[in-house]
Amino acid sequence: MKFKFLLTKVALISICTLVMGCNIIKNDSIGNPKEKVTVKVLYESESAFFTNYGSLFISKYPNVDFQVIPFPYTSNTASGEEIEQAYDMVIQEEQPDILFLYPDQVERYSNKEQLYDLDPLIVQDKFDLENIHPAVTDYIRSIGTGRLLALTPNFYGKAVFLQ
């Protein structure tokens, strides 16, 4: 018996991406311990953000303050369009610097040209993409109109085994 391994496209749990026009990236205030910086983050909740990311980040960069904007509340019966409108409204009103998005949201905001291209920053800061599996970055580029508009802190894959 032969087994064939078919890998479905990598499903990303969440994607951290940066909104177009984010000034924090364009300067080195984060690395400057004398200058206080506030970063607005769209995330599920303040406590979840600090548990998963914020506390660790602040331990390395104590000059950074995070203002967490919780995901917009929508009822369990809300349509996809209603959820999109709720996100659009929060993003427009709050102007977050960092968004935690699902792949379909990255694709949607990418098509609307509302996300910041990370490729020039990766080159400028010599960020090492070698530690990220190429299938992950390839998938992110495919939903980001060929550009790297997001990075993911985690992912999972699905496989189907056929006989």
Ordered by start, the domain boundaries in the chain are 4-162
DSSP assignment of 71-137, as one string? PPP--TT--HHHHHHHHHHHHHHH--SEEEE-HHHHHHHHHTT-B---HHHHHHTT--GGGS-HHHH
Q: Name the pLDDT band for 15 (thresholds 50, 70, 90).
A: very low
**CATH code assigned to 4-162:** 3.40.190
**What's the pLDDT score for residue 2?**
35
Give yes or no for a contact between 131 and 72, defined as CB atoms under 8 angstroms apart: no
Closest to 17 in 3D by CA, of 106, 119, 150, 146: 150
Residue 8's pLDDT is 30
pLDDT given for residue 35 in this prediction: 85
Q: What is the pLDDT of residue 120?
A: 93
Parallel, antiparallel or unpaired: strands 37-43 and 98-101: parallel
Q: Which of 26-30, 41-45, 105-109 has the lowest mean pLDDT?
A: 26-30
**Which of 137, 146, 82, 73 lies closest to 113 in space, CA to CA?**
146
Among 110, 100, 101, which residue's Cα sits nearest to residue 147?
A: 110
Helix (H, G, I), strand (E, B) or coil at 141: helix
The more confidently predicted of residues 81 and 153 is: 81
Place of tokens 């969440």: 14
Checking if the pLDDT of 56 tops 70, the result is yes
Mean pLDDT of the chain: 80
The pLDDT of residue 20 is above 70:
no
Smallest Cα–Cα separation from 163: which of 5, 2, 55, 50? 2
Judged on CB neighbours under 10 Å (0-12, 13-18, 19+), 144 is: buried
